[in-house]
Amino acid sequence: MTTQWLISLATDASDQPLDVDAKAPFAVVFEQLSAKFPGGDAAICQLIADAFGLPLFENSALNSKSVRLVPESIAQKYGCYPVADSGSHVTLAIANPADDEAIQAINFAAGRTADLVIASPSQINHLIETGYDHPHQGNALDTQTEAHGQGDTGFGVRGKNVSSKLANAGAPTEKLFLLILKEALNLNVSDIHIQPFVGGAAVRFRVDGVMRQIKSMSIAVMSHLFRHIKAIADLDTTNARTPQDGRLTMTTESGQRDLRLSFLPAEGGERLVIRLLANAADTGGEMNFSTNDHRIITKTMQITSGIILATGPTGSGKTTTLYSMLKMLNHDTTNILSVEDPVEIKMRGVSQTSVNPAQGLTFPAVLRSMLRQDPDVILVGEIRDGETAELAIRAALTGHLVLSTLHTVDALSSISRLVDLGISPILIADALRCVLNQRLVRQLCQACKSAKTEDQLTETERLFLSLTNDSPTIFGAVGCSSCRNTGYLGRLPITQIWEINEDARTILRNDPHNERALKEEADRRGLRSLFESAKDLILQGATSVDEAVRVIGNSFWQALGTEYLEVREQGSIEKPVKATEKLLLVIEDDILRRRIASQLEAMDYVVTALKDSESAKTHIASGYPVDLMLLDIESASATPMSHFDTLQSALAYIGITSVLLIPEGATEVETLLELHQATDWLTKPVSDEDITRKVVSALHRRHL
Ligand SMILES: [Zn+2]
């Protein structure tokens, strides 16, 4: 890119020759000219503005929300800043309006046309530094050092042989680790992710199910930190090439929390996920069921045999729900056993076993020995194979109450899932008592939520209101200091509870594959959808329409049904809300790739389709924004281990929502995905429609 035009411009306007290095980058030339030119930065900006007939940047035009349009990395790379968003246009502060490449990149990233305003490179740097949301970057943790330096005698972490306390933490790395943990505890975080990113390493927290970037650091600091953590967790500090799992105990003034560590080698370096396991004191009652749901669950808990299933995707609170149920059953007179992978919530009075296949402790093996222990209630962490399913059903049919979870999208599909696992519908009819399907939505922050006026309503909110007869108040998220500017604090379940009655049993026995008859029967008895449950919470002002759309995606649009179609006249309820989202497909199979790409393109997504993960890496590294990656991890030359490698590369791109296609029977991959709370995956064979549906719903639920 040439800088000559700027030098000529400044020289012409000045009385004397301005000697600068024309080959230097634009920002450097700008700075050199500014130092020699009367009036400095402001005068140079004015010259450029006049020459191009463009306005100057003004602070009053700043709209903080516009940063969402352009990723920080792109803004930095091209030296520009999105000042304001006006729907189809974005106001862009830039020093070099002749930089077509930058303008193209922004147009593409923002999905809008850039209207340029002129600002100096230093103004733009300042805007980037202050405008992008680094909610706690640096500052929060640094302030903690001062604020808590003295009074933290009680805060520390303990490994097998080593323990360290914040009060006397010596080395900076030791202190950094304790401060990260302390901050995580303060913010009620469920997982801490530390991983390499382009140009450094990032610490991210999962709070209320949503990832937030907290701090960045250099790769060198991250490596020191990892070695320190491995040392106290009694792991191999020299090994960064194979996955390692460990445990630590965090001690605080109010008690202890167990931490589960998982180091995973990935593209660009090792990454670490620390899960903060729930406290015994947190269990039960934590799930804030609505009065009606609570009544049904309490009633169901009166039964003494049969099976109760909780369904939903990873992170939907299934385990917490089961523990809320266990708590109701936990008396001196009941013998409760649990087998989980691993035990996440400790509960007094329950004999809990973690599976450990290396020691022969598989779900079926543990279940078999449990049945010899005369249990009243058995909690099976998850039914994911036929043998476990069969044992669980058999236990349920022989006088035990079995609680378990299944990975299905709704209550009714638990039947077909069990049939797929080889269970006869007749046995299901006899054993199954109740299926609870749930999701978690974030609760609007009580301190700052605000009622929306008529003209503040979005199109989606208007459609939603059209489904209700009266005109209730709709609340929206605002953001304040108590919710860390997210507008949300805490989570609430939205639920669908299907009680299996005699009529349903009859259908299962006589016509087991007639899902439609089952659905009609359930509807007759008023089986509520997740949408209806979400609707209650919206009308109570407990959550927002945006949040319900994020969490339940398609069901929301389906429920809006006809109204939505009429307004959009688009013909498909799966129409994306924001069609300019950019998708990256990585599918080796030429035919499948073309088919899926053209389907998604027809839905107005911007699609880049690539054959292998190598070119995907190049694509991402080049800075092009990607909203979602669809990755088929099956390839012609694949072995289970190469699946694993591909997957690890994919996981290294955390921050990009991904949908993975997994070959049938790749259980080790599924386990890894579960462990890392990967967002979405589909096990092959799968229909094209299922793939596009998954992509659309993943985009809807995309982290804000
Ligand atoms: Zn708030």
Q: Considering only 163-172, 381-390, 521-530, 535-544, which range has the smallest mean pLDDT?
A: 163-172
Expressed in angstroms and rounded, the spacing between residue 445 Cα and the centre of ligand 1 is 4
Identify residues whose C-beta is under 5 A from ligand 1, the ion. Answer: 445, 447-448, 480, 483
Expressed in angstroms and rounded, the spacing between residue 376 Cα and the centre of ligand 1 is 44
Q: What percent of the chain has pLDDT over 90?
A: 22
**pLDDT (0 to 100) of residue 111:** 74
**pLDDT (0 to 100) of residue 284:** 40
Expressed in angstroms and rounded, the spacing between residue 491 Cα and the centre of ligand 1 is 14
Task: Name the more confident of 389 and 239.
Answer: 389
Expressed in angstroms and rounded, the spacing between residue 187 Cα and the centre of ligand 1 is 14
The model's pTM is 0.53
The pairing of beta strand 680-683 with beta strand 657-662 = parallel
Expressed in angstroms and rounded, the spacing between residue 135 Cα and the centre of ligand 1 is 14
Expressed in angstroms and rounded, the spacing between residue 344 Cα and the centre of ligand 1 is 30
Mean pLDDT, the chain, as a whole number?
Answer: 81
Expressed in angstroms and rounded, the spacing between residue 131 Cα and the centre of ligand 1 is 20
**pLDDT (0 to 100) of residue 654:** 45
Q: What b-and-e string marks burial along 52-76, b requiring 16 or more CB atoms within 10 Å of the CB?
A: eebebbeeeebeeebbebbbbebbb
Instruction: Average the pLDDT over 97-110 and give the result.
Output: 81
Task: Name the more confident of 447 and 684.
Answer: 447
Local confidence band at 622 (pLDDT 50, 70, 90 cut-offs)? low
Q: What φ, ψ does residue 493 adopt, rounded to 5°?
A: -85, 140
Is residue 138 scored above 60 in pLDDT?
Answer: no
Expressed in angstroms and rounded, the spacing between residue 449 Cα and the centre of ligand 1 is 7
Expressed in angstroms and rounded, the spacing between residue 486 Cα and the centre of ligand 1 is 7
* Residue ranges with strand state E in 348-480: 350-354, 377-380, 401-406, 432-444, 450-451, 475-476
Q: What is the pLDDT of residues 524-569, one digit of tens each?
A: 888 888 888 998 899 999 999 989 988 887 667 666 654 444 444 4
Expressed in angstroms and rounded, the spacing between residue 423 Cα and the centre of ligand 1 is 48
Is residue 145 scored above 50 in pLDDT?
Answer: no
Three-state secondary structure string covering 489-531:
EEEEEEEEEEECCHHHHHHHHHCCCCHHHHHHHHHHCCCCCHH
**pLDDT (0 to 100) of residue 190:** 84
**pLDDT (0 to 100) of residue 464:** 84
Expressed in angstroms and rounded, the spacing between residue 461 Cα and the centre of ligand 1 is 21
Expressed in angstroms and rounded, the spacing between residue 443 Cα and the centre of ligand 1 is 10
Expressed in angstroms and rounded, the spacing between residue 477 Cα and the centre of ligand 1 is 8
Q: Considering only 155-159, 181-185, 697-701, which range has the smallest mean pLDDT?
A: 697-701
Is residue 495 scored above 80 in pLDDT?
Answer: yes
Is residue 165 scored above 60 in pLDDT?
Answer: yes
Expressed in angstroms and rounded, the spacing between residue 438 Cα and the centre of ligand 1 is 25
**pLDDT (0 to 100) of residue 641:** 52
Q: Are 6 and 31 in contact (CB under 8 A)?
A: no
Q: What is the pLDDT of residues 651-675, one digit of tens each?
A: 544 456 778 888 777 766 676 666 5
Expressed in angstroms and rounded, the spacing between residue 319 Cα and the centre of ligand 1 is 28
**pLDDT (0 to 100) of residue 580:** 62
Expressed in angstroms and rounded, the spacing between residue 450 Cα and the centre of ligand 1 is 10
Q: At what angle do helices 640-652 and 667-675 cross, to 10 degrees?
A: 20
